[in-house]
Structure 1
Amino acid sequence: MSATHGTTASLFKQPRAVWAVAFACVISFMGIGLVDPILPSLAKNLHATPSQVSLLFTSYLVVTAIAMLVVGWVSSRIGAKRTLVVGLVLIVVFSALAGASGSIGGIVGFRAGWGLGNALFIATSLAVIVASASGGFGGAIILYEAALGLGIAVGPLLGGELGTISWRGPFFGVAALMAVALIATIAFVPALPKPERRTSLAAPLKALRHRGLLTMGIMALLYNWGFFTMLGYAPYPMELDAQQLGLVFTGWGLLVAAFSVFVAPRLQARFGTAPVLYGNLIGLGIVMTVIAVGVNSPVAVIVAVIVSGAFIGINNTLTTQAVMLVSPVERSVASSTYGFVRFIGGGLAPFVAGKLADATSLSVPFYLGGAAFILAVFVLASGHKLVSAAEKNEAHGETVRPALERVGATPEPGYRPVIVAVGATEDATLIVDEAAAIARDTGSTLEVVHVRETAVIEEQAIDTEDADHARAAVLAHLNHLVAHGITATGQVLTSIGDHATAGRVLAQHAADVEAHTIAIGRSPRGPVAQFTDGSFTAALTHAAASTVVLVEPGRTPHRLTAASLEELRTKSA
């Protein structure tokens, strides 16, 4: 949440447990991209057809999909750390066995075990980082996002470099790096308490009874069908060696990371979730058609694959948010259900593509992948009203639109407060004190709004803090202010992933109470993310009728306007 996190320094003030898991996340997210550059080499050295090599994706992703149904059940019984450790052990063992294997069948089988370990790890890693974080939940989430982006971008590069030595290199490389992560996790991650309520084994499948979740899941299945068709088969018509393939997919990964973090929120804020997804899926359909038509032109395939990274980055960010918007079940259950359905599509696509390529030509799987992207548009359209209603807060079930909850005493009618938005960060008290000075100077009541957000990353959604913790944080601020003779009230603003909508909700609340000023602090995401269109800060500034100021300890408040946001963006570029 751009406006509510602490100083940049708090990002690095994390315990060793967070860094250990973040390192493991980087290696885990390298997984798929690491293998891509060596696919042609595998086929050549093991005398296998592309369709046989594609089973590396199928076994890995199908097992990951099925495992997503049980990881919540397992984690709620043995605890997050043990689940994490078991996942890491499986990855180390099976990636090493894959590297030592002498047949394509052996590698396919060991990749299945690797997929099981990856599911156990990925499903709990974000929760462990958040639970172990200090210096602000925001910093921990940023580290996770950074690990995701770094893994996606660097994985193909490392895979290409190791692949020049031997096709076994990437497998042994993962095993060695994950072994280091395993040791660090055992040594530094503390034992974490088990959830108070155990997850039912049947809960993820039962969740598919809800039309919204089923619709979005099918859309994601079709999207993954096209995506993994491209990932599994595009390397062959490029006619490049492992190192060159690594560079191509590194370019692709950089676009995935950049468009996921910086571009997707801006597009979502301007056009809405569903319209952006429509355009994005159509764009992917066009890219896949270009690959199919130009399958005999390596340059055309290379350019199309790299460009697809932009669309994939946007889709990865917005699809999970859309799932959380329409899901009337617990977010952990929704994440498991969504992961199951989408990975099934990703797992089956390479297998079917291989059979089609063997029976027809290499272009046919890409045409089918393009058709899957277009079909996903129609599936999304069938649930358009659900997504739109959720964004407008008309959906039933769990709150999906950012919502305010009063904490402490109810203010007197007609109060015109100074509002300060803060999060669970080390410098939150300092930001509140700066806002209190503004309230004192203007003779206003101070209203502390604690922003509690659900982090939505890839197929995962997790509350960065529970409701009780957020309320306690507000009460702590109020007690601190009372001790200094300052009249104050409090609110908790709960948000799911969409920073811009949360900013607009706060702006509307400020208008309703005729707030004198709205104060926000610096974001550890950095000025580029904080001041870009689609961020909490930008949306709040554009929508607010009140004066919005950026406050920093010891500095004069800086008024935010459309012009000053542009200046701040320019300075940070």
Structure 2
Amino acid sequence: MLSRPFLVLGFAMFCATMGLGMVTPVLPVYAKSLGATGTAIGLTFSAFALTQVFISPFSGRLADRFGRKPFLVGGLLTYMAAAVGWYLTDSVVGIIAFRALSGVGSAFIFSMALAYVGDLAPNGREGRYMGVFGLFDFIGFGVGPVLAGIVRDHAAIEDVFLSMAALFTVASLLVAMLLPKTVEIAATGLDGLRLTRPPVPPWGVVLRDRTVQALFGLRASFAFSMGASFSFIAVYLEESLAVTATMVGALLAAQQFAGGLSQPVLGHVADRLPRRTLVVVGAVMVAAGYSTAAFSTTYVIILAGFILGVGVGGALFNVAGQAVQVEVGRTLGMATVASLQSMAYAIGILAGSLGGGRIVEATNVRAVFALGGCFILAGALFFVLHTRTPRVAAPLEGEPAG
């Protein structure tokens, strides 16, 4: 498992997600200090989704035909440019515009990385590979908020953006210099049999696949709950509970660390137990975690809810879903399926953030956390109902798909 491509991808994603983790709690607070309203604050979190929605499907198709590496490097450099833009701008419009630019990077980075890992993962070990890879992802997102809080408490908030730009520069160099252009497709099982990359089927075949549809709904619901909740968690904690920026970063970091450290173990679980069941269990845990912010005003209770519910529950939810994603990607195009998940994520983030902003303006900030919990439960139900019938895999080599 710990091959050179896997480790290079892992450390590059660690740097990238650390940068993203730094900016997550900062942009809403920075925008509010510049006079942003609830809807505008939501856009500072979700504007990237506008560009990601339109670019993601095409990036995946192109990557399945021409390779992942150029798109991955391009995505990392785009995020670096967005970070520099945030450092230079002093308006809410500028913040939102560069957030939209970062959506181009999002469309490339994560779907390409997951496609690489999917190529490396053998049958029956999808959960383990995704679980270990998720460790880099979660830990990076966990370290980021802590660093952002420390920078904010000891320097200017704009310096967070310079730090983010430096991290994306390191990630870009790692991928450009050390990641092989192509990787060998993983074994179909433990017998060592190797596959050639299958032809990419037409869009109609991909979009009619019920498992692809189920995964799309699942990912969109998770992103909706995240967009609705994470757009306002920092503002809620700082303004309503009067906690420090470091405490906000600590909560976000603890949630990520809990999820990241549990990912490898949960990956093994996802290879042994029914993945549909694990998705439901994870969704219930996440919903319970968000409910602590909806119904409690005690920082310690919210911290515990985010660690156990959003962190560990979210890790279980994601690793089980991603293992199914790899299975489907083997026949429908690994990057194509991953990019559709990226598109679903963008749609969910956009709808959740904007919807959350309207909810805050109409009611109160605590209502968005209850809304987030309800949506992830609805997504898990959709996934289970849509995957009741076992999927018949398309042919692997050259035969007509469908």
Q: 1:93 aligns with which of 70, 81, 86?
A: 81
Aligned equivalents of 1:261 and 1:142: distance in 2?
4
SS at match of 2:332: coil
SS at match of 2:231: helix
Aligned equivalents of 1:191 and 1:216: distance in 2?
28
TM-score, normalised via structure 1 length = 0.58
Q: Deviations over 1:124-150 (max 9, x none)?
A: 345568999xxxx99998974443243
Q: Are 1:255 and 2:258 matched, yes or no?
A: yes
Q: Which ranges of structure 1 fall in alignment gaps of 5 or more residues? A: 6-10, 390-394, 400-465, 468-573
SS at match of 2:214: helix
Structure with the larger RCO, 1 or 2 (CA within 8 Å, 6+ apart): 2
* Aligned equivalent of 2:247: 244
Greater mean deviation of Cα atoms: 328-337 or 238-247 = 328-337
Q: Deviations over 1:31-83 (max 9, x none)?
A: 44222332563144312234322212211234233322111233356543322
Q: Deviations over 1:189-242 (max 9, x none)?
A: 46559x988858x73x75222223212311221122112322222222222222
* Aligned equivalent of 1:159: 148
CA contact (8 A) 1:234 1:301 kept: no
Q: Are 1:177 and 2:146 matched, yes or no?
A: no
Report matched runs for 1:281-292 at 5 Å: 281-292=283-294
Report matched runs for 1:81-230 at 5 Å: 81-125=69-113, 144-164=133-153, 165-189=155-179, 192=182, 203=203, 207-230=206-229
Q: 1:374 aligns with which of 355, 377, 383?
A: 377
* Aligned equivalent of 2:275: 273
Aligned equivalents of 2:248 and 2:361: distance in 1?
23
Greater mean deviation of Cα atoms: 138-147 or 107-116 = 138-147
Aligned equivalents of 1:298 and 1:290: distance in 2?
9
Residues 36 and 211 (structure 1 numbering): CA distance in 2 closer, same or farther, change over 3 Å?
A: same
Aligned equivalents of 2:119 and 2:332: distance in 1?
22
Report matched runs for 1:367-516 at 5 Å: 367-386=370-389, 389=390, 395-398=391-394
* Aligned equivalent of 1:48: 36
SS at match of 1:48: coil
Q: 1:317 aligns with which of 319, 323, 326?
A: 319
Q: Which ranges of structure 2 fall in alignment gaps of 5 or more residues? A: 184-195, 398-402
CA RMSD of aligned residues (A): 3.5
Aligned equivalents of 1:93 and 1:260: distance in 2?
31
Q: Are 1:231 and 2:230 matched, yes or no?
A: yes
Aligned equivalents of 1:217 and 1:280: distance in 2?
17
SS at match of 2:36: coil
Greater mean deviation of Cα atoms: 121-130 or 102-111 = 121-130
SS at match of 2:25: helix
Aligned equivalents of 1:293 and 1:198: distance in 2?
51
User: Aligned partner of 1:65: which letter?
Assistant: V
Residues 171 and 197 (structure 1 numbering): CA distance in 2 closer, same or farther, change over 3 Å?
A: farther
Q: Which structure dedicates a bigger proportion of its chain to strand?
A: 1
Aligned equivalents of 1:129 and 1:384: distance in 2?
24
Q: How many residues align?
A: 375
Q: Deviations over 1:237-288 (max 9, x none)?
A: 2222222211111110111112322135336624x21222222222322333
CA contact (8 A) 1:76 1:197 kept: no
